[in-house]
Structure 1
């Protein structure tokens, strides 16, 4: 798997160097990384609600499980999307440069002022370039602990920009993928209908509301695989 991963990273890096900060770099990267799914013995199936329109700004929120997300959930990234990720990603060899050149926004979660500036930058990208922003609202990988509590950044961003939120719900992959077998089953991803939010609730209240909705959707996806 390592040679394939290095080859794909090399191709993606060259594309990002040739067209740095292009609006579709994240989409291209996600499609490229997903090519490794067959090496993991995983079939990634995506169901997208018909109301999701390509190249329309949304705030995508997705559950974040483990390192395999880079091969599975990345397939769901649409054209014209950028992500918000932790600043330390820049130090990962090759991948960090790809992440930067893809136009993603890096956030320092330990510094409140820096985090606020990053959300402001995301809002400007949405308004000025009609980009979508992808956020993992748990803030970290769950590693089998279930859906962790949501942070409020994605919801504050949606309230500021008046952009709908679209949930990207991924079935459980914890202890389901093993490198020593060829068939690791199906990973189901559901991109739900975008939902506008407003000032009738606070960002925290919206975060709690979407947390329950995503938890229910993930449970339904998991039940389909039983």
Structure 2
């Protein structure tokens, strides 16, 4: 069981992550996706978890249900810890709920930097060269020894790792 945590810039991030991770994973997704005919139904049938981002209590209840489900039926998960897409290309603040789930379960977290999906969609709309997409997968981070009071600094450190992985292509070109 592994938690994969990429940055999120575009709807393309979702199929890119699914195609790039060489194992079965389910996602923690916004509840709105569950309401899309066929797509949402297939996510429900596939055992994905849904969070109501507009209601903190319901969101926390969903995370708790995910924790119970994961204990009964362990599987790998990916979630976008920013909770939404970044509109400016910068990695946003990470929310703690889903990451706390990984820590509570003692599951390793793998940071991922996704590069190019925002530009891809923008260029496609304008008829320009669509460029390339890149996914940089970091090393697993063990969570078994992380204490509750360490959660805020852990979340910020994880965000920094994702930022570095997202910037990796820039470093290699300079």
TM-score category (smaller protein): 0.7 to 0.9
Q: Which residue of 1 aligns with 2:50?
A: 106
- What SS does the corresponding residue of 2:92 show, helix, strand or coil? coil
- Please report the TM-score for the alignment, with normalisation by the length of structure 2: 0.85
Structure 2: 5+ residue stretches without partners: none
Deviation at 1:170, TM superposition (A): 1.0
Count of residues in correspondence between the two structures: 169
Aligned equivalents of 1:82, 1:115: Cα separation in 2: 17
Residue 200 of structure 1 and its aligned partner are, at CA, apart by: 7.4
RMSD between superposed Cα atoms in Å: 2.1
Deviation at 1:173, TM superposition (A): 2.8
Identify the residue that residue 204 of structure 1 maps to in structure 2. 152
Regions of 4+ moved over 6 Å = none
Counterpart position of 2:20: 76
Taking the aligned partners of 1:125 and 1:194, their CA distance within structure 2 comes to 22
Q: By how many angstroms is 1:93 displaced?
A: 2.7
The 8 Å contact of residues 156 and 203 in structure 1, kept in 2 or not, is answered as yes
Q: Compared with structure 1, are the counterparts of its residues 70 and 80 closer, same or farther at alpha carbon in structure 2 (3 Å cutoff)?
A: closer
Alpha-carbon distance between aligned partners in 1 of 2:87 and 2:56, rounded to the nearest angstrom: 26
What is the deviation of 1:176?
A: 3.7
* Alignment match, 1:188: 134
2:168 is paired with a residue whose SS is: helix
Match for residue 87 of structure 2?
A: 143
Return the TM-score normalized by structure 1.
0.67
